[in-house]
Structure formats: structure tokens, C-alpha cells
Chains A and B, each alone.
Chain A
Amino acid sequence: MFSPTSLAVPVLFGSVAIGASAAILAWRARPNPGAKPLVWLLVGQSWWSTCIVFSLSAGTAAEATFWTKVGWVGVMTVPVAWILFSLEYTGRDEYLTRRNVALLAVVPALTVLLALTESYHGLLYVREVGVTAQGSVLVEQGGIWYVVTAGYTYLLAVLGIVPILGLLSSGATAFRGQSAALIVGVATPWATNVLYNLGAFPNVGIDPTPIAFAISGVAYLGAIDRFRMFGANPAPAWRAKQFLFDHIHEGVVVVDGHDTIVEMNRAAAETLDIDMSRALGAQGTDVLPLNEPFRADGGRELLTVGTGSTSRSYDVAVSELTDRHDETLGYVVTLHDVTRYLQQQQRLKVLNRVLRHNIRTETNIIQGYAERTSGETAETITNRTARIVEISEKGRDAIDLFEDTVNDREGTSLVGLLERSLDAARDAYPEVEFVLERPAADAAVSEGLSVVVNNLIENAAIHNDGEERRVTVTAAVDDEQARIRVIDNGPGIDDYELDVLNSGTETPLRHASGLGLWLVKWGTEVIDGSVTFESNDPTGTVVTTTVPVRRSGLSHHNT
């Protein structure tokens, strides 16, 4: 009953076989994103090919035109399924509402209806134009609606390709492979169809689009099997970006280059106590009461919302958005809640005042009374109050350390810092020999390092009761970091002290003997450095502190 007319017919059989196989594999991949629309797409294109085969094998003109008309069901399934697949596969399924799908199906449904009823109107005609030498009936299609539906089909094809194109630049090989295979799969038949409609295949006798489905079927099979289309799916990536934007704790406001708010997340709307729909389209400077216009120079501004005890403070950071030519597209303004940080800072300031002023005043009074008397008791009182003053100063150092480091943007000279520390130590501990081995080149380091070095030198000097007490400080600098070593010949640091320090926490029963080593640890952590303790040979300790070098600070010079 069937007489092949050309090479096209075996290829049509191939396209049905491949399309049906790929459809079965896609069916089994449900409920992966895109699986169901892909089944419809493959069924649609297979049905199209099937109808062409039946049309070519038809014994009569009526039969041939019947199959051509019925083939329109497949023809119009393909573009709708393609756009649905593209959106679902790339994670944009929020657009796939029943209403949108119904709207997308209006033109295809009308087309099928017009094809089946073509004899009554001719808007989309399907008519016999001849018979081949092998006896196959040739059918021609056209009409105004044919042009409309072709345009609609091409539009959906292009719209569907756009999200897939974005995956071509994905970092994941699987996604690049999948998207390339999908684009080949969809572009080949559509390009064939465009060329056919432009009259590029005058002698084929049939619409060769289904023939190209053989290639697209292979491409889809490759995407499914070779590139694990339903094993590694990019859909969550798109949703994750939106999810992150919507659910991040920081408020985010996006303004365009004209200061118009174009996007805002829930946290920002709650922070600014504004209705999101009202804020979108409003002027950014009206909604964000900042002192200066938007600028993305790394500077930060503090925004306080509300009054009294219920007020909250936000650290406002502005990042510039640019296009590929580095032209400004807009700004992303982030609002980071720093209320708790500021409250803690306030408490530290009060504590600082108590340590700095009140304790010193009270100990001065005690010392004054002690000096009025004499003897061993008076001496003990004087020594102990001096110790209290010393501890309060260390506590104050700890507070200053965080504040100074936060405000210290430029950095200070490493050599100068070491010299100052050693000069002070020589004055305080004249019985100890201090040696400084300077680095080959100076570098800018955080001012916070001075607290670390001072405490290391003091610790090395105090806890050394030998006859020849010696503390050596060496420094070495490279492009990235400075390494300072404080070496003493004392008895060494107790392992118990180091264990407590390494554990990072103290308990009432397990604690270090003072604040000095804690200041060393906290100081290096605050300035992004590290510290290690080793035993010196034959006695003593080698403490090595490594800190980053500030690039924008000091210009290097030989010392």
C-alpha cells in the first residue's frame, strides 16, 4: 500500500522512530522540569511526520488532504510545547499559568479548526496540486492564515530559544551541552521550514520540515542521554536567584540610572515601612532618605529608621550595575541591619570609660592612702593596685583594638611600629636586652598589630627571670604579608595557657592567667593574621605573627 517516493520517505520513518524513542525517554523522566512539554513536542513532531507519510501513501486525493489537515494538530503542538518546555526547563515556570497556556493555545487551536474546515473559507487552504510518478498525491497549503500561523510559530521558536541561549555560557559542561543540543534540535526544523516557505526547495514536493525532525530527534536524544538533560537540570538556578533576592535578610533596592526604583525585596519594604507596589517606579531618593546621592565608591552611610528605643540602624552600601561597555545601568542599594552592633559598641564605650577613668581614679585614691603609711602591708597595697591599673589598661587595649582596627584604613609603618614598641619596652624593662632585626623593606600594616607586638614583648620580658634576659624581634616582608617573630630565652609559655588559648574559650575553672595572650590572639584575628607558638632552643619561646600587608598604605622603601 505504501510506495516510497524519494529519499525523504525513509528519513521520515527515521524521524518518527527517533522522535517516538526520545518521547518515551522524556516520559520516563517526569516529573523533571521540562519533561512533560518535551514529550508533547516530540509527539507533535512525530505526528506531523506520520501524517506526511500517510499523506504520501494515500491512494486518493481526499485521503491525502485529510492526513495533511490532521497533521496540523502536530504542526501546532510543536511551537507551544517548545515555549512551555523552554520556560519550565530553565526554571521560569511561574509564567506557566493555566491562563497563559490557554492564551498560547488560541492561535494553534484556531489553526487546526481552520485547517479542518478549510473548504468553507479558504483562509488556510489544503489542496491537491498533482501526482508524482510513483502515484503519491502532492498537496499544497497556503492562505492568509497560513502566513499568520507561520509568523506565530517562528515567534514562539525565537522566544523559546532566548532562555536556552543563556545556558550556553553556563559554567557547567552538561548545561552547555544540553542547551547546544536543544538549539540544534529546534533550529534545524524551523530553519528548514523558513527556507521551504521562502521557496528554497521547489522540487521536494512536500514540506521538508518533518524530515529535519530526524536531526532534531537525534539532538534531543543526545541532550537526554549524553548530556543527562533530566539528570542535571538548570531549573533551580534561575529560581534560586529570585529566592535569594526575595528571602535575604538584608533589604535590597535596585534603582536605574534615573534614580527610579525598579526592584525591591520584602526585607527592604519592611525596613522602609513602605508598600512594595507603591515603591516600584518611585524616586529612589524619596524612598531612601540618604544624605548624599547614590555613589558606589565603597563608602557607607548609616540610615536610622524610627525614633527612640524602637529605632533601627542600617548600614547602607551602594553597588553600581554596569553593562558590558562599563556604562552605568543603575545601582543596588543594600540595607544591613547594624542596630545590635551599634548597641554593643555603645556598651563597649561605657566599659572603656569605666576602665580608663573610674578604676584609675579609685586606685589612685587607694595608693594615696597607702603612701601615708609604711611597711610591708603598704607596699603590698601599692603593688596590687598597680596591678589592677595594669589589668584595666589591658582591658582598655582590648576595646581599643577593635575600634582602632575598624577605623584604621591607611595602616602604619611596620618598622616604625616595631621601633616604638621596643623603645617603650626598653624604658619599662631596662634589665632586659632588646634586639630588633629590621626587614629588608618596610610595609604598611594595621595599627592593631601594635597591641599584639607590645603584649608579646612585655610577656617575653616579664616572664623571664634568667641572668641574661634577651628578647629578639625579627621581621620579614613579602608582597602579601609580614612575618614578625618575637624570640626570648625565658622559661617558655606553659602548655596549659596555650591549650586554653587554642580552645578559644574559658570557663571559671579553666582559664588563662591574664589578658596578654588573649590580646595577642584577638589582635591577630581582627587584622586577618595568624599566630603560632614554638619552643626556642635551648629555652624560651618563638612567637611568629603573620599579618597581611596593606597595599594602599605605605610606599615601600629600603631601611
Chain B
Amino acid sequence: MASKTNEPVSTDTTVPWHVDVPESVVDVGCRIRDVLTYSSTYLVFIAMIEVLTVHLVLSIPPNPAPIVVGLVTFAVYAGDRIADAADDEVSSPERSAFVTRHRTLLSVLTAVTYGLAIALALTGGPIALAITLLPGGFWILYASDWLPSLGSYFKRLKRILIVNSTIVASAWAIAVVGLPLAFAEASVTPLAAVVFVYFLVDTFVNTEIPNVRDVEADEAVGVSTLPVVFGVRRTRHILYGLDLALVAFVAVALSLGILPTAAAAAILVGLGYALVLAWFVGRSAAPGRLAIAGEAKHLVVFALLLVFTTGL
């Protein structure tokens, strides 16, 4: 759940696939696509799927956690887009223009969605509330200019290598795994810990994928990411390493009987998918779509899990 999407303007002269579709329909479709991608609304859907995956793996009955995570995801990511609209002019001009044009609406929407998420979290008790506040709190530390304003010693954590992606990954992994547990008043089991590690590492990888495309922009604004420091090729190798480490971790958890076979199988397929995507890092002509594909992996895992556990 840490994606950046903005394709470069295509100079391809081939006839578009939608040439026979009425122009008004294409226009509406394009607008919907813009809203979903530039405002990061598609990430809301992905985040909710991740929480439902946790529900399935940990056998937690339905509760408001997916809705709360969805609302928080929208608030934090759209809020991040607003804060970074100026910096994004270099790397994502179309998204930057979209956010600038709808800044007021997005600002109010993000505030209201986070407010609703907090109110909903109250029904889950103090821990659910604390977890709900975590992504917002981490975002303030990570991306906003509040920390640097305290003094020259501090700088936006977003600029510090590994710390930036780790903060993002931690906040979301805690929210995705912790909220369903908090709402269900369930205790933290070894299985929950395994699922947490999976989401932590996976989110870290997904955070670094779009950074490959943003090397120049990140360098320009002083943000240290893996591609900025190690280059694209070595970043790809690091991502291979992380995915393979996760494969090994899942295998160990399966062999120890912590992770059920169905969950392990779904996750391993997902990790295979992630390894293929990692090969495309730095080689794809559409890095924005690569980032979305990385997030979409959770749909694959959830679908497989649903098939394996319910036999649908």
C-alpha cells in the first residue's frame, strides 16, 4: 500500500483499443481512472482486501476493521498527495495537477474520512483507537514538515534511507493485522506474528518499487531511497532478496505448523508473483502500472485464499 502512479505521456502512434467506443463513455472512463489512481482511491480497495485476508487467515469474524483501514488509507494517501503536490510536479505532473485542481475537496474529504475512521475505531476500544491513530501519527513523523519545524536537528523521516519505507510498512502492517485483532479483542498469536511479518516485508517491497521511477525527483528533493543510494540494478537484487527471504520465512512457518497450508500456498503464489514483478523493476516502460500490479498481488492472494479455504 505505498504506490505512486503516473505514466509518462505516450508518443505511440498505434490506434488505441477504444477507438470504436463512444467518446463520452471513454471520457467518463478516463475520469474514473484518474480519480481512482491520482487520489489513491484504488489503494483503499487493496487495503480492505488485505484486512479481509487477515480475517480469513486468523479466522476472525467480520468487524469494522476493513472499513476503518479503508478510510484511513484514503485519508493518509490522499493527504500525502496534497502535501507532496509541489514535489510531484517533476515525477508525476499529471497527478500533481489533479491534486492541485481538487486540493480543497480532497483536503476536506481526507479530514472527514479520518474523522469517521477514528469515531468507528471507538467501537473497538482504546487499542483499536490507538492503532487507527498510528498511520496518521506515523505520517506526521514521516512526511509532514512538522518534525523539521522543531529544529534543524530533525528532518522529514521521508528523506532517510530505509527509515522511510520501514515507517510506512510498519504503520500499515500494524493497522492491517492489529485492527481486526483489536476489534475482535483477540490475543496476538504466533500465526498473527507471522502474518504481521509477511505484511511488513511485503509492504516494504511495494514501497520501494515506485521509487525506481522517482529516482531523479527523489534526488532533487533530497529523499534517500534504495534506488537513489544503490542504483536500480542493486535495488532489484535487494527486492529479490527480500521476497526470497519471505518465501523462506513462510516455508519455515508452514513447517512449524504455525501457518495453515491454504494460507501458506496462497502467500507463496503471491510471492512468486512478486518475484516476477521484481524482475520488471527498472525494465518496464510503464513503472506506474508496475506499482499498481505490485499492490494487486494482494487480490491474487485473497482470491486464492478464498478458493483454498471455502472451496469456491
* Chain A interfacial positions (CB closer than 8 Å to B): 1-2, 13-14, 16-22, 24-25, 28, 30, 46, 50, 53-54, 57, 225
Tell me whether A54 and B126 are in contact in the complex, defined as CB-CB below 8 angstroms, given that A24-B110, A28-B107, A225-B108 are known contacts: yes
CB neighbours (8 Å) of A54 from chain B are 122, 125-126
Contact indicator B111/A14 (Cβ below 8 Å): no
**Additional 7 contacts, C-beta under 8 A, given A16-B115, A17-B116, A20-B114:** A2-B123, A13-B123, A17-B118, A21-B112, A21-B114, A24-B110, A24-B114
Contact indicator B122/A16 (Cβ below 8 Å): yes
Minimum-distance CB pairs A-B, first 4: A21-B115, A17-B119, A24-B111, A20-B115
Q: How far is the CA of A30 from the CA of B115 in the complex (A)?
A: 19
A-B contact pairs, 8 of them (CB 8 A): A2-B122, A17-B118, A25-B107, A25-B108, A28-B82, A28-B107, A28-B111, A54-B125
CB neighbours (8 Å) of B111 from chain A are 20-22, 24-25, 28
Contact indicator A1/B129 (Cβ below 8 Å): no
CB neighbours (8 Å) of B185 from chain A are 1
Q: How far is the CA of A17 from the CA of B114 in the complex (A)?
A: 8
CB neighbours (8 Å) of B146 from chain A are 30
Report the nearest B residue to A20, measured CB to CB.
B115
CB neighbours (8 Å) of A1 from chain B are 124-125, 185
CB neighbours (8 Å) of B108 from chain A are 25, 225
Contact indicator A20/B119 (Cβ below 8 Å): yes
B12: min CB distance to chain A, Å: 40
CB neighbours (8 Å) of B122 from chain A are 2, 13, 16, 50, 53-54
Q: How far is the CA of A25 from the CA of B107 in the complex (A)?
A: 7
Contact indicator B107/A17 (Cβ below 8 Å): no
User: Interface SS of chain B: helix, strand, loop or mixed?
Assistant: helix
Report the nearest A residue to B123, measured CB to CB.
A2
B177: min CB distance to chain A, Å: 20
Q: How far is the CA of A46 from the CA of B126 in the complex (A)?
A: 14
Tell me whether A13 and B119 are in contact in the complex, defined as CB-CB below 8 angstroms, given that A24-B110, A54-B126, A57-B125 are known contacts: yes
B179: min CB distance to chain A, Å: 15
Contact indicator A18/B115 (Cβ below 8 Å): yes
Report the nearest B residue to A225, measured CB to CB.
B108
Q: How far is the CA of A57 from the CA of B124 in the complex (A)?
A: 10
B126: min CB distance to chain A, Å: 6
Count, A-B residue pairs, CB within 8 A: 55
Contact indicator A14/B110 (Cβ below 8 Å): no
CB neighbours (8 Å) of B116 from chain A are 17, 21
Report the nearest A residue to B83, measured CB to CB.
A28
Q: How far is the CA of A50 from the CA of B118 in the complex (A)?
A: 10
Q: Give the residue among B110, B114, B119 with the most A Cβ atoms within 10 A.
A: B119
Contact indicator A14/B125 (Cβ below 8 Å): no
A38: min CB distance to chain B, Å: 13
Interface string of B75-111 (1 = CB under 8 A from A): 1000100100000000000000000000000011011
CB neighbours (8 Å) of A14 from chain B are 119
Which single member of A24, A28, A50, A57 contacts B115 (CB below 8 Å)? A24
Q: How far is the CA of A52 from the CA of B82 in the complex (A)?
A: 34
Q: How far is the CA of A17 from the CA of B68 in the complex (A)?
A: 12
Contact indicator A19/B107 (Cβ below 8 Å): no
Contact indicator B107/A16 (Cβ below 8 Å): no
Report the nearest B residue to A217, measured CB to CB.
B115
Which single member of B75, B119, B126 contacts A16 (CB below 8 Å)? B119
CB neighbours (8 Å) of B119 from chain A are 13-14, 16-17, 20
CB neighbours (8 Å) of A25 from chain B are 107-108, 111
Contact indicator B125/A16 (Cβ below 8 Å): no
Interface string of B10-31 (1 = CB under 8 A from A): 0000000000000000000000
Q: How far is the CA of A288 from the CA of B71 in the complex (A)?
A: 69
Q: How far is the CA of A30 from the CA of B112 in the complex (A)?
A: 18
B60: min CB distance to chain A, Å: 15
Q: How far is the CA of A139 from the CA of B116 in the complex (A)?
A: 27
B30: min CB distance to chain A, Å: 29
CB neighbours (8 Å) of A53 from chain B are 122
CB neighbours (8 Å) of A50 from chain B are 122, 129
Q: How far is the CA of A22 from the CA of B112 in the complex (A)?
A: 8
Report the nearest B residue to A53, measured CB to CB.
B122
A49: min CB distance to chain B, Å: 9
Q: How far is the CA of A30 from the CA of B83 in the complex (A)?
A: 13
Interface string of B122-153 (1 = CB under 8 A from A): 11111001000000000000000010000000
Q: How far is the CA of A14 from the CA of B111 in the complex (A)?
A: 14
CB neighbours (8 Å) of A13 from chain B are 119, 122-123
B122: min CB distance to chain A, Å: 5
Q: How far is the CA of A46 from the CA of B119 in the complex (A)?
A: 10
CB neighbours (8 Å) of A17 from chain B are 112, 115-116, 118-119
Q: How far is the CA of A225 from the CA of B109 in the complex (A)?
A: 12
Report the nearest B residue to A50, measured CB to CB.
B122
Q: How far is the CA of A28 from the CA of B111 in the complex (A)?
A: 10
Q: How far is the CA of A540 from the CA of B39 in the complex (A)?
A: 76
Q: How far is the CA of A46 from the CA of B115 in the complex (A)?
A: 10
Report the nearest B residue to A58, measured CB to CB.
B125
Q: How far is the CA of A335 from the CA of B116 in the complex (A)?
A: 61
CB neighbours (8 Å) of B107 from chain A are 25, 28
A51: min CB distance to chain B, Å: 10
Q: How far is the CA of A1 from the CA of B82 in the complex (A)?
A: 37
Q: How far is the CA of A16 from the CA of B116 in the complex (A)?
A: 8
Contact indicator B118/A20 (Cβ below 8 Å): yes
Q: How far is the CA of A18 from the CA of B114 in the complex (A)?
A: 10
Q: How far is the CA of A25 from the CA of B112 in the complex (A)?
A: 9
A43: min CB distance to chain B, Å: 11
Q: Give the residue among B111, B112, B114 with the most A Cβ atoms within 10 A.
A: B111
CB neighbours (8 Å) of B112 from chain A are 17, 21
Q: How far is the CA of A16 from the CA of B82 in the complex (A)?
A: 24
CB neighbours (8 Å) of A19 from chain B are 115
A217: min CB distance to chain B, Å: 9
Q: How far is the CA of A25 from the CA of B185 in the complex (A)?
A: 32
Q: How far is the CA of A54 from the CA of B119 in the complex (A)?
A: 12
Report the nearest A residue to B119, measured CB to CB.
A17
Q: How far is the CA of A25 from the CA of B79 in the complex (A)?
A: 11
Report the nearest A residue to B110, measured CB to CB.
A24
Q: How far is the CA of A225 from the CA of B105 in the complex (A)?
A: 10
Q: How far is the CA of A142 from the CA of B108 in the complex (A)?
A: 40
Q: How far is the CA of A28 from the CA of B79 in the complex (A)?
A: 10
B154: min CB distance to chain A, Å: 16
Q: Give the residue among A2, A18, A20 with the most B Cβ atoms within 10 A.
A: A20
Report the nearest A residue to B140, measured CB to CB.
A27
Q: Give the residue among B79, B112, B115, B124 with the most A Cβ atoms within 10 A.
A: B115
A6: min CB distance to chain B, Å: 16
B35: min CB distance to chain A, Å: 21
CB neighbours (8 Å) of A22 from chain B are 111, 115
Q: How far is the CA of A24 from the CA of B126 in the complex (A)?
A: 20
Q: How far is the CA of A273 from the CA of B111 in the complex (A)?
A: 57
Q: How far is the CA of A372 from the CA of B53 in the complex (A)?
A: 128
Report the nearest A residue to B108, measured CB to CB.
A225
CB neighbours (8 Å) of A18 from chain B are 115
Q: How far is the CA of A429 from the CA of B108 in the complex (A)?
A: 84
A171: min CB distance to chain B, Å: 26
B104: min CB distance to chain A, Å: 8
A56: min CB distance to chain B, Å: 10
A442: min CB distance to chain B, Å: 64
CB neighbours (8 Å) of B124 from chain A are 1
CB neighbours (8 Å) of A225 from chain B are 108
A214: min CB distance to chain B, Å: 11
B146: min CB distance to chain A, Å: 8
